[in-house]
Amino acid sequence: MKPPLGKIVQNIAREYFASSTCHGMAYIVHPKLSVVERVCWSLVVLLSLCTCISAIVIGHQKWIEKPMIVSFSAKPIPVWKLPFPAITICPQSRIDVEKFNITEVYLRARANKTLSQDEWRKMRALSHVCSSVMRSKTDYYGSNGTAGGHKEANTSTPNSERVVEQLVRMSQSLDKLFQTCMWSFNFRPCEALWTRKVTENGVCYSFNMLSSEELYTADQAFREREVNPDVRKGGLHSLHASRLRSSGWTMENGYTLKEDLLAYPRRTASGGFKGGAIVLLKMHQQNREYICSGALQGYKVTLHPPDEFPRLSEYHIRIPPMQAVSLIVKPRLLTTQRNLHRFPYSKRQCYFSDERTLRFFRVYNEQNCEFECLTNFTLASCGCVTFAMPRDNTTRVCEAHEKRCYKRAVIRLMELDELSVDAGEEMCDCLPACTTIKYDVELSNDWLNLDAMLDAMIGGENGMKGMEPMLLYVYFKDNKFLYIERVEYMNFNGELANFGGILALLSGMSLTSIAEILYYIVVRPFALWLKVQYSRAVRPVTPPEVQHTSDNSLHFVRPWIP
């Protein structure tokens, strides 16, 4: 007679509990224990298994949600593996008085006196960088069609005011502004180290920054011709700083093995004063004006990575004239392990170089992305972009009367970005790059007593009379730095160890115990079924046994079945 299925399952379960390696299960079916003791052990085993499963699920969910941690590196990195920071200097006195006397022209304009058409064009161009030049009236220097008696057509060409061209023409030239330049304690021509750049602050000068050709996309080539029209290819001008190109460095991969210490962007062999950049700038008192510059005189200085567009309107250090200033730099490097590339950027909270591209910049980083986002928003809001924003030849540059529009666009974008973050979505979606460098700065300064030094050295000759120099030192604080690295929170081996540890601690089980469970659920029933089928197939038909008695009679006896 075939036993019922329930009985078979019960026997297999009893066999498993009796021989299981999981702690406590043997007591559930122990024949010498009472029912109360078996129930108590059943509750203990059940509670242990529930806690074990919950801990495993929580640990795995944490691994899925946060697959990485940020930790300090085990070994410091030498400074020669890092690019020296790019330095951008913007003089507050943006205008050479010999080219344009803004104070005299501004006072005549306020008195409603007649100005020439060229003077009105320059005033309108300066209104983009000089807040005081903007008149309180609504004409914005001729935007309503009248310019001090001059009739100007209100054109809509992409760059009708030619703001960049006007600012470059009125600015102080590099040889007038820079007196002496040094790099790694060696004198160099200033034009070989510093190049003109146009930022939101107007005309500035940058050191160790990627060229426009490498920073911007191909359709931005015309911008370099606007900013440096006097630099030609070939000849001695090929040594100009704007003609320098990167020798293979990228932020994500660093310098290649073939590059030496003369690679570009520049890097230094050591920290300290002798491994940095030194520049002596000069400004004549006659170029000091307060209409455009305001009450604050001197320079705006910012340190930034070589592949990042400098935004001095947001981040800068103010340095007054007649001072010697030391900027002692401590780099803050954040890297990401390459094996984290398999995780989505939403969990990584950063972009690798091949995951995000920009419309106007060849290099992705958070600063470039935010500036491009502001450019796109300004174009959508005002139908134009500012003179410092990236654009193509067909995009119109905002004119002076549209200044309020692009100023409002900046504030509006900030408000929308804050609202989008609260809603769980970012307006610009500008996550940091997975490899970034920030430069923390310690500042030290002292006054330059130039007059007393000149009196002592040359007896009061007036060759430097009226000059207001500024001496700037920039160098690394140490030779080596600890950096921060995004690493995988737990790899497969760690997850397996965590899983096994929880199993062993809460239930005394191992992976072999899991195999044991599968054995009794799948293999053991199947093996018993095969055994039954085999016994049925090979069982012989045996005749009844014959038992002889002493009286020679036969008795049929059935075979004994246990």
The per-residue pLDDT for range 270-280, each reduced to its tens digit, is: 999 899 999 99
Q: How far apart are CA 120 and CA 509, in angstroms?
A: 86
User: In this model, does residue 256 exceed pLDDT 80?
Assistant: yes
Neighbours of 299 (CB within 10 A): 24
Give the pLDDT confidence score for residue 208 in this predicted structure: 95
Give the pLDDT confidence score for residue 45 in this predicted structure: 86
Same domain, 215 and 309: yes
The H or E element containing residue 154 is none
Last residue of a domain, one of 170, 199, 222: 170
Residue with tokens 């300064």: 445
Q: Write the CATH number for 441.
A: 2.60.470.10
58 vs 65, 498, 506, CA distance in Å? 11, 11, 15
List all residues 6 or more positions away from 133 whose beta carbon is below 8 Å from its beta carbon.
Answer: 102, 106, 123, 126, 127, 291, 292
Give the pLDDT confidence score for residue 283 in this predicted structure: 85
Give the pLDDT confidence score for residue 34 in this predicted structure: 87
Same domain, 44 and 185: no
Same domain, 357 and 501: no
- CA 199 to centroid of chain Cα atoms: 21
Q: Which of 490, 340, 355, 485 is nearest to 431 (CA)?
A: 355
pTM: 0.79
In this structure, is residue 201 part of a structural domain?
yes
Q: What is the mean pLDDT of residues 349-369?
A: 93
Q: How far apart are CA 438 and CA 305, in angstroms?
A: 7
In this structure, is residue 411 part of a structural domain?
no
Q: How far apart are CA 485 and CA 250, in angstroms?
A: 18
Give the pLDDT confidence score for residue 137 in this predicted structure: 46
Q: Is 149 left (phi over 0), alpha (psi -120 to 50) or beta?
A: left
Same domain, 102 and 48: no
The pLDDT > 90 percentage for the chain reads 36
Q: How sure is the predictor about 329, in pLDDT bands with cuts at 50, 70 and 90?
A: very high
Same domain, 457 and 520: no
In this structure, is residue 427 part of a structural domain?
no
The per-residue pLDDT for range 51-88, each reduced to its tens digit, is: 888 888 888 787 777 778 888 988 999 999 999 999 99
List all residues 6 or more positions away from 269 whose beta carbon is below 8 Å from its beta carbon.
Answer: 79, 80, 184, 261, 275
Q: How far apart are CA 22 and CA 45, in angstroms?
A: 9
Domain count, the chain: 3
In this structure, is residue 361 part of a structural domain?
yes
Domain hosting 118: range is 95-133+161-170
In this structure, is residue 380 part of a structural domain?
no
Same domain, 9 and 116: no
Same domain, 213 and 85: yes
Last residue of a domain, one of 488, 506, 521: 488
Same domain, 480 and 347: yes
Q: Which of 195, 194, 174 is nearest to 182 (CA)?
A: 194
With H, G, I as helix, E, B as strand and everything else as coil, classify residue 88. strand
The per-residue pLDDT for range 433-472, each reduced to its tens digit, is: 999 999 999 999 988 876 676 666 555 555 567 788 899 9
Angle of helix 117-126 versus helix 163-170 axis, rounded to 10: 100
In this structure, is residue 418 part of a structural domain?
no
Same domain, 514 and 436: no
Give the pLDDT confidence score for residue 557 in this predicted structure: 47
With H, G, I as helix, E, B as strand and everything else as coil, classify residue 172. coil
333 vs 235, 326, 330, CA distance in Å? 38, 22, 10
Q: Is 248 left (phi over 0), alpha (psi -120 to 50) or beta?
A: left
Same domain, 444 and 509: no
In this structure, is residue 440 part of a structural domain?
yes
User: In this model, does residue 109 exceed pLDDT 70?
Assistant: yes
Same domain, 120 and 243: no
Give the pLDDT confidence score for residue 436 in this predicted structure: 95
Q: What is the mean pLDDT of residues 192-198?
A: 94
Q: Which of 146, 145, 104, 140 is nearest to 124 (CA)?
A: 140
Beta-bridge partners for 300? 90, 318
Same domain, 358 and 445: yes
The per-residue pLDDT for range 385-432, each reduced to its tens digit, is: 999 999 988 899 999 888 889 999 999 998 888 777 666 677 888 999
Give the pLDDT confidence score for residue 133 in this predicted structure: 58
In this structure, is residue 72 part of a structural domain?
no
Write down the mean pLDDT value for the chain.
83
Q: What is the mean pLDDT of residues 134-145?
A: 46
DSSP letter string over 405-423? Answer: HHHHHHHHHHHHHHHHHHT
With H, G, I as helix, E, B as strand and everything else as coil, classify residue 467. strand
